[in-house]
Amino acid sequence: MNHISMDAVRAAEARAWSTPLADLAPADPQLFKDNAQWAYFERLRKEDPIHFTRDSEFGPYWSITNYKDIMAVDTNHKVFSSLSTLGGISIRDQRADFPLPMFIAMDPPIHDAQRKVVSPIVAPGNLAILEQTIRERAQTILDALPRGETFDWVDRVSIELTTQMLATLFDFPFHDRRKLTRWSDVATTIAGPGGLVETEEQRQAELRECAGYFMQLWNQRVNAPPTTDLISMLAHGESTRNMTPQEFLGNLILLIVGGNDTTRNSLTGGLYAFSKFPEQYQKLRANPELLDSAIPEIIRWQTPLAHMRRTAVSDIEIGGKHIKAGDKVIMWYVSGNRDEEVIESPNALIVDRARPRQHLSFGFGVHRCVGNRLAEMQLRIVWEEILKRDLDIEVLEEPERVMSTFIKGYISMPVRIRN
Amino acid sequence: MPKVTFIEHNGTAHTVEAANGESLMRAAVDNNVPGIDGDCGGECACATCHVYVEADWWEKVGGRTETEETMLSFAAATKDNSRLCCQIMMSDALDGIVVHTPDGQH
Supply the ipTM of this predicted assembly. Answer: 0.92
pLDDT number for residue A205: 94
Per-residue pLDDT tens digits for A348-362: 999 999 999 999 999
Beta-carbon count within 10 A of B72 CB: 17
Range of weakest confidence among A234-248, A261-275, A299-313, B19-33: A234-248
pLDDT number for residue A4: 58
pLDDT number for residue A120: 79
Q: How far apart are CA A42 and CA A51, in angstroms?
A: 12
Q: Which residue of B has its CA nearest to A114?
A: B74
Q: Tell me which chain B residues have a C-beta less than 8 angstroms from the C-beta of A125.
A: 76-77, 103-104
Query: Which residues, including other chains, have CB under 8 Å from residue A95's CB and lie 6 or more apart?
Result: A200
pLDDT number for residue A1: 47
pLDDT greater than 60 at residue A2: no
Residues of A with CB under 8 A from a CB of B: 71, 74-75, 108, 112, 115-116, 119-120, 123-125, 127-128, 355, 357-358, 362, 364-366, 368, 370, 373
pLDDT greater than 50 at residue A146: yes
Q: Which among A392, A193, A169 has a CA at the least distance from the CA of A274?
A: A392
Per-residue pLDDT tens digits for A362-371: 999 999 999 9
More confident residue, B79 or A117: B79
* Mean pLDDT per 10-residue segment, chain B (106 residues): 96 97 97 94 96 96 95 93 97 97 83
Average pLDDT over residues A81-106: 88
- For residues B86 and B42, is the Cβ–Cβ distance under 8 A? yes
Mean pLDDT of chain A: 93
pLDDT greater than 50 at residue A17: yes
**B65–chain A Cβ distance below 8 A for any pair:** no
pLDDT number for residue A3: 53
Q: Give phi and psi for A271, each to the nearest 5.
A: -65, -40
Q: Where are the alpha helices (DSSP H) in A48-123?
A: 67-74, 110-118
More confident residue, A9 or A380: A380
Question: Rg (Cα) of chain B, in Å, rounded?
Answer: 12
Q: Tell me which chain B residues have a C-beta less than 8 angstroms from the C-beta of A124.
A: 76-77, 102-105
- For residues A408 and A303, is the Cβ–Cβ distance under 8 A? yes
Q: State pTM to two decimals.
A: 0.93
Strands, E, within A254-299: which ranges? none
pLDDT band at A240 (very low <50, low <70, confident <90, very high): confident
Average pLDDT over residues A211-226: 93
Q: How far apart are CA A65 and CA A245, in angstroms?
A: 37
